[in-house]
Amino acid sequence: MTDFFQTLNQFVRLTPESEAALSAILKPFSLPRGYLLLKEDTTCNYIYYIEKGLTRTFYYKDGKDVTDWISLEKTFACSVVSYITRRPDIRNIELLEDSVLWGIHYNDIEQLYQKYHDIERFGRLVVSDGLVKLQQRFDDLHFATAAERYNKLLDTNPSVIQRVPLGMIASFLGITQETLSRIRAQHTRRKE
């Protein structure tokens, strides 16, 4: 939980009362690799703070597994569309490693939003940060070649490349795994 409040402090400084109220709604999860946090066609009720581990948000498009987002430690994971709109959507979330998470239920945080101005501010800033990150991810793919996409990821999130299977990274980048494998082969050749 310490990690969570450390991350939170990067967004906003809460009053002790708000902090206590927020810590009271955090639910701990300790779950194994492969666990499905969210199943497609259900409504996402939790946003998860990742203390330890790694999650992947994915869906099926024309029968093919497409990775939508990868969340690392000290960030959040959820189906943004479902959590905000309160409707089911196509996304699944799975754990790529054994993980320790803190879940925030939609209804619980809604109540705190109503009651505590500073928690509402926290919410606004978290969503704003998410919006900036998604825009940057979008920019990284817009009119970029397969190699450019991979290099950008290597720049911004090198640990993802160590921890996530190639096929998932490929679909995260909007390319096939064969193409990504060939790009990687080029890379190592260059380094020799």
Partner DNA sequence: GAGCTTATTTGACAAATATCAAAGGAAATT
Partner DNA sequence: AATTTCCTTTGATATTTGTCAAATAAGCTC
Considering the rule CB under 7 A, would residue 115 count as an interface residue with DNA?
no
Alpha-carbon distance 6 to 1, whole Å?
A: 9
Q: Looking only at residues 131 through 160 of this chain, which bind DNA when binding is defined by CB under 7 A?
A: 145-147
DSSP character string of 176-187: -HHHHHHHHHHH
Considering the rule CB under 7 A, would residue 174 count as an interface residue with DNA?
yes
In angstroms, give the least distance from the CB of 63 to DNA.
Answer: 10
In angstroms, give the least distance from the CB of 21 to DNA.
Answer: 40
Considering the rule CB under 8 A, would residue 6 count as an interface residue with a copy of itself?
no
CB 9 within 8 A of CB 65: no
Considering the rule CB under 8 A, would residue 15 count as an interface residue with a copy of itself?
no
CB 101 within 8 A of CB 26: no
Alpha-carbon distance 3 to 76, whole Å?
A: 12
3 state SS of 46: strand
Summarize as ranges the residues that interact with a copy of itself (CB under 8 A): 61, 64, 66, 68, 80-81, 84-85, 113, 117, 120-121, 123-124, 127-132, 134-139, 141-143, 171, 174
